[in-house]
Chains A and B, each alone.
Chain A
Amino acid sequence: MIRVLKTGLYSSIQDLGRHGYQDYGVPYSGVMDVYSASIANILLGNDVHAAVIEITMTGPILEFNCETSICISGADISPKINGTSIKLNKPILVKSGDVVSFGKLVSGFRSYLAVLGGFKTENVMNSYSMYQGITKQSTLFKNDELLIDTSLKGLGMKHAAIKVIKGHTTNQIEVFKGPEFYKLTKAQQDILVTQGFTISKENNRMAYQLNEPLANNLESIITSSVLPGTVQLTPSGKLIILMRDCQTTGGYPRVLQLKEASINILAQKFTGNTIYFNLM
């Protein structure tokens, strides 16, 4: 069992998401950066579907009441055990009584803490991913007790080292044409895929809004399916990139669709960062 002494800015339990219920209006949820979360699990020898803690910008303080091992990947939020710095992307043995904490954000935005065997918190519709209205909690609370499989001990690693790709920090976001891309004029299309866009302060697990508008006169569409990575264009010209917690349907024109790997890259960006859409 792991006790949450402090929650950090926005920490939640996530796995690879809730699949197969989208026709009932249920969002996928799941880790924002699938790549980093998978690295953390793989380095421990876990299944990639194992539930991890997704940490956003500011880390939690966690007290371990058992012996296990952990691995942290993704953003570098200066992780520590009992005050001593530990490395990212490296399985680490944790003893009962140890306290894991975080410090300054050095790079990225979201960090993933995987534990041997994965977290065994509330499972709804075949997923541990927290989402308001589906699971009882949508984030971690102070004094939460997070269950894990304590019969698994020691370093369960299968991979001593995995080279983490550098491209994960690029500002080039690879995209495909969205279903309504062709409704834009040639000039609008060109602006969209050449100009830099900055991430507004409206960015969360549901969507990232961009600061620079794209002047347009497109009307809303008849409500249709949307996906994580869908770029919507609102009547006011605001661009919205849908993320993992997005609704299943929407009524704004879908001008671009992010490549799946690019959703992970975007998940590590935050307010003020510039991105470029790179049409595939």
Chain B
Amino acid sequence: MSYELTYKPFGERSVLIEWPLGIDENILSDIIVFKEKIKTKNIKGIVELRSSYNSLLVIYDFVIDTFEDVVFILNQLYLRKKQDINFSPKQWKIPVCYEDTFAIDLKEMATEKGISQESIIKMHSSRVYTVYFIGFLPGFMYLGGLNEKLYTPRKSTPRLKVLKGTVAIGGGQTGIYPSESPGGWNIIGNSPVEFFNPQKELPCFANAGDKIVFKPISLKEYKDIKTLVDAGVYQLESEVIDD
């Protein structure tokens, strides 16, 4: 499937490629395929490729004087048939403890929605989420796929400090805070897993296009996993998704 793309200059050295507006899995996979094509082609001067919901930012190491030429090359590549794209998304199983010590907004959410806490946990942990991209904070995954019944407005006043590993819902999104930070989302749990490690060659395990499922764990399991994570020996469960 090919979309009508828009190419815009972004400063002196970048081209912003935009897809039609919307949060959509087909757009995401089209972006990923185009990104991989550009990577595989090894176009001289491209130093960075960054994707988000409906855009791909291509950054060059030189000042672009003939924008049309650069766009022509990119668009030719876009229109070329998909071939030899080495992309195999993975599904990651993320343990989350939804118990009261962590889930400080769960009770209020349950009361307001008229849904039991157990049902909220079940709804949250029975979906397969899609990683659209990583941004906001190092290692923060933008996830799509939240059950509409769980949509909850952000807190009117953000908390100054949200714990590392916090699992929360903000509007129609759910996510995990990879490090301690201020935050306005509704907190429903915590994951002991490390989502960002600057010391590793691959600082994040997940990439755009991967899938995430949340697996409820007890406080005891949380502590056990945390110990393994801190010791650097915890192995996250994952499987390659077959198309």
A179 at the interface (CB under 8 A from B): yes
Q: Are A19 and B48 within 8 A (Cβ)? A: yes
- Decide if B107 is an interface residue (CB 8 Å cutoff): no
Given A125-B198, A222-B23, A227-B11: A24 and B138 interface contact (C-beta under 8 Å):
yes
B12–A259 CB distance below 8 A? yes
- B residues less than 8 Å from A258 (CB atoms): 11
> Quick check: is A93 within 8 A (CB to CB) of the other chain?
no
Q: What is the total number of residues of chain A having a CB less than 8 Å from a CB of chain B?
A: 31
Instruction: Decide if A133 touches B179 in the complex (CB within 8 Å).
Output: yes
Which residues between 93 and 142 of chain A lie within 8 Å of chain B, taking CB atoms? 124-125, 133-135
Known: A23-B133, A133-B179, A179-B16. A223 touches B10 (CB 8 A): no
Which B residues, 110 to 152, have Cβ-Cβ distances below 8 Å to chain A? 133-140, 142
- Least CB separation from A133: chain B residue: B179
- B36-76 vs A: 1/0 string, CB under 8 Å? 00000000000111111111010000000000000000000
Main secondary structure, interface of B, reads: loop
List chain A residues, Cβ under 8 A from B155: none
Asked if A25 contacts B140 (CB within 8 A), the reply is yes
Contacts of B140 in A (CB 8 A): 25
Judge if A249 is at the interface, Cβ distance under 8 Å: yes
B133 touches A249 (CB 8 A): yes
- Flag whether A224 is at the interface (Cβ < 8 A): yes
- Asked whether B12 lies within 8 Å of A176 as measured between CB atoms, the reply is yes
Minimum distance in angstroms from A178 CB to a CB of chain B: 8
Is B196 at the interface (CB under 8 A from chain A)?
yes
Known: A176-B11, A223-B142, A257-B10. A23 touches B49 (CB 8 A): yes
Q: How far is the CB of B177 from chain A (nearest CB, A)?
A: 11
Which residue of A is nearest B135, CB measured?
Answer: A249
Instruction: Tell me if B8 is interfacial: C-beta within 8 Å of chain A.
Output: yes
Partner of B199, one of A124, A176, A224, A259: A124
CA distance A103 to B203 in the complex (A): 42
Interface residues of B (CB under 8 A from A): 8-14, 16, 18, 21-23, 47-55, 57, 133-140, 142, 179, 196, 198-199, 203-204, 208
Q: Tell me the nearest residue of chain B to A227, going by C-beta.
A: B11
Task: Supply 24 A–B pairs (Cβ within 8 Å), ascending by A.
Answer: A21-B203, A23-B50, A23-B134, A24-B139, A26-B198, A26-B203, A125-B198, A133-B138, A133-B179, A135-B198, A222-B22, A223-B142, A224-B55, A225-B52, A225-B135, A227-B10, A227-B11, A247-B136, A248-B50, A257-B10, A259-B11, A259-B12, A260-B12, A260-B13
Report the bound CA distance from A41 to B114 in whole Å: 64
Number of A-B residue pairs having CB atoms within 8 Å of each other in the complex: 99
Complex formed: what's the CA distance from A258 to B203 in Å? 30
Contact A23 B51, CB 8 Å, known A133-B179, A259-B11: yes
| Interchain CB contact under 8 A, B11 and A260 | yes
Give the CA-CA distance A70 to B70 in the complex, in Å: 42
Q: Determine if A22 is an interface residue (Cβ-Cβ < 8 Å).
A: yes
Measured CA separation A223–B50 after assembly (Å): 13
Tell whether, in the assembled complex, residue A134 and residue B198 are in contact, meaning their CB atoms are under 8 Å apart: yes
A253 proximal to B (CB < 8 A) = no
Q: Given A24-B204, A225-B57: A249 and B11 within 8 A (CB)?
A: no
In the assembled complex, the Cα of A248 lies from the Cα of B12 at a distance in Å of 18
Indicate whether A30 reaches chain B with its CB closer than 8 angstroms. no
Least CB separation from B137: chain A residue: A25
Chain B residue numbers with a CB within 8 Å of A27 are: 138
Closest to A135 in B: B198
Q: Contacts of B53 on A, CB cut-off 8 Å?
A: 222-224
Taking the closest CB of chain A, its distance from the CB of B175, in whole angstroms, is: 12
- Say yes or no: B16 contacts A225, CB within 8 Å: yes
Return B210 CB to nearest CB of chain A, in Å: 13
A196 within 8 A of B: no
How many angstroms between the C-alpha atoms of A134 and B140 in the bound complex?
14
Nearest chain A residue, comparing its CB with the CB of B203: A24
Please give, as numbers and ranges, the residues of chain B lying within 8 Å of A223 by CB-CB distance: 52-53, 135-136, 142
CB under 8 Å from chain B, chain A span 23-79: 23-27
The minimal Cβ–Cβ distance linking A130 to chain B, given in whole angstroms, is: 12
Distance (whole angstroms) from the CB of A55 to the closest CB of chain B: 25
CA–CA, A236 and B11, complex, Å: 25
Which residues of the other chain, A, contact B204 by a CB distance below 8 angstroms? 24-25
A window 122-181: CB within 8 A of B: 124-125, 133-135, 176, 178-179
Q: Which 3 A-B pairs have CB atoms at the shortest separation, nearest pair first?
A: A249-B135, A225-B57, A257-B11
Taking a contact as CB atoms under 8 Å apart, the answer to whether A247 and B135 are in contact is yes
Per the bound structure, the CA–CA distance linking A258 and B13 in Å amounts to 12
A25-B138, A223-B53, A249-B136 known; 16 new pairs, CB 8 Å cut-off, are A23-B208, A24-B196, A25-B137, A124-B198, A125-B198, A133-B138, A133-B179, A176-B12, A179-B10, A222-B54, A224-B54, A225-B10, A227-B10, A247-B137, A257-B11, A260-B12
